[in-house]
Amino acid sequence: MAAGSAPRLYFLRHGETDWNVEGRLQGRQDIPLNALGREQAARAGRRLKDLLASAGLRPQDMLFQSSPLGRTRETLEIARRAMGLPAEGGAFDDRLLEFTFGRWEGLTWPEVCVLDPVLAAARGADKWNFCPPGGESYAQLAGRLAPWLTEQDRPSVVVSHGGVARALMRLIGNLSEQRAPVVNVWQGRVLVFSQDRFDWV
């Protein structure tokens, strides 16, 4: 299946964490949701319930897929409860994990610039293809997601991370390599991928 022919995907980014507030690079670190993050997850679930109803879809008929990290698991559980479903009921897939920042994880960007100024500048010059030391690039993340995307054959709810959303914007929405890594990925909202486009709703 070509990326552009994938069925509709309702994407939720995990809710806010304290590291989001502090501007720390999370990557694969298992940082929990904070209080606002839990509110955002519930808000996204309520919005998703309305969206599915308007599309003639029932929440209980949807496939729910998630990154296995704690912050995405909790977002999934809270959103499902807000939709009137049991908290449990998602499939966890390692391919939906956030890309890793390697040795930069836990640092703020100003701290990275002090620690590795040359590499920080290189990332600024080509954010899509740059691979942090011991980490993963957006291009590598997109390569990991492409086989997962070809397997999608029905409308699905996907709970994952900002980097994953940006890679899907490139794969499905044909966003450029320059634009995709810098677009905002909101918490507490629903990102709908359909055919060759994506929309925040």
Selected catalytic residue, list 16, 74, 77, 98 = 98
The C-alpha angle 95, 101, 103, rounded to 5 degrees, equals: 130
Which of 14, 74, 77, 105 is the catalytic position? 14
At 68, give phi and psi (nearest 5°).
-80, 0
Q: String of b and e for 52-80 (b: at least 16 CB within 10 Å)?
A: beeeeeebeebbbbbbebebbbbbbbbbb
98 is catalytic: yes
Cβ-based neighbours of 117, under 8 Å, separated by 6 or more: none
Let me know the angle formed at the C-alpha of 67 by 63 and 72, rounded to the nearest 5 degrees.
95
* Distances, alpha carbon 12 to alpha carbons 134, 151, 166, in Å: 27, 19, 12
Phi/psi of residue 13, nearest 5 degrees: -80, 145
> Catalytic: 22?
no
Cα end-to-end span (Å), the chain: 26
Catalytic residue IDs = 14, 98
